[in-house]
Amino acid sequence: MRKIFKIILAIFAAIIIIVVAFGAIILFDVAAYTATGSQTLTPIGTSIGKAIVIYDPGLSGTAKGVADKIASDLQAESYTVTETGVRSSAASNTTDYSIIVVGGPVYAGALTSSVKDSLNGIFISQSTKVGVFGSGQGSTSQDDIAQLKNSMPTRLDLSNAVVVKIGSSEDLSTRAQDFVNQLLS
């Protein structure tokens, strides 16, 4: 009986350690520290403007896929696009861009701290168009969008920003193209 009790106790302790470790990874946004790369996508024809897509890849990398699709859709609309991780030096200078997109994973209904920090650090002129995306589980509801808007920093006036959550069960190509169309309209 004691042996069974010790085994159960050891399993329970292991589960607690795993849950705490996973929680710490999310809380401290560890995946954002790997987002240091940057690339420039040039349109086939003449560029009509400059856009930057800043992303936090998240634990699964799904948000990076969303950022890739948004960047390629902006490139197809004749923008020169800088796609960069939140920890890249390119993400810290947004003054020359007419379109700024910032996004990453959604955990517990809110944007990650690295995405909030990026939003706090951007420079928005009156003519700059701003988009914010989140990626997460399931399909998107209006409550998801409201939660994202509530989790955005209040230092900037982002009331005109296009905000979208793209769920894992949704068609990424269609949702990203819709997001870009809203951003450009």
* Per-run averaged pLDDT (10 residues), the chain, 185 residues: 82 83 60 68 91 88 90 96 89 89 86 84 85 82 76 73 84 92 92
Q: Give residue 14's pLDDT.
A: 87
Q: Give residue 106's pLDDT.
A: 85
Q: Give residue 62's pLDDT.
A: 84
Nearest to 91 by CA among 40, 127, 53: 53
Domain chopping of the chain, boundaries: 34-184
Q: What is the 3-state secondary structure (H, E, C) of 104-117?
A: EEEECCEECHHHHH
DSSP characters over the chain = -HHHHHHHHHHHHHHHHHHHHHHHHHHTTGGGGG---EEEE--SS---EEEEEEE--TTTSHHHHHHHHHHHHHHHTTEEEEEEETTSGGGG--TT-SEEEEEEEEETTEE-HHHHHHHHH----TT-EEEEEEEESS---HHHHHHHHHHS-SSS--TT-EEEEEETTS-HHHHHHHHHHHHH-
Q: Give residue 36's pLDDT.
A: 63
CATH class of 34-184: alpha beta
Q: How far apart are CA 59 and CA 123, in angstroms?
A: 28
Nearest to 164 by CA among 27, 39, 63: 63
Global pTM exceeds 0.75: yes
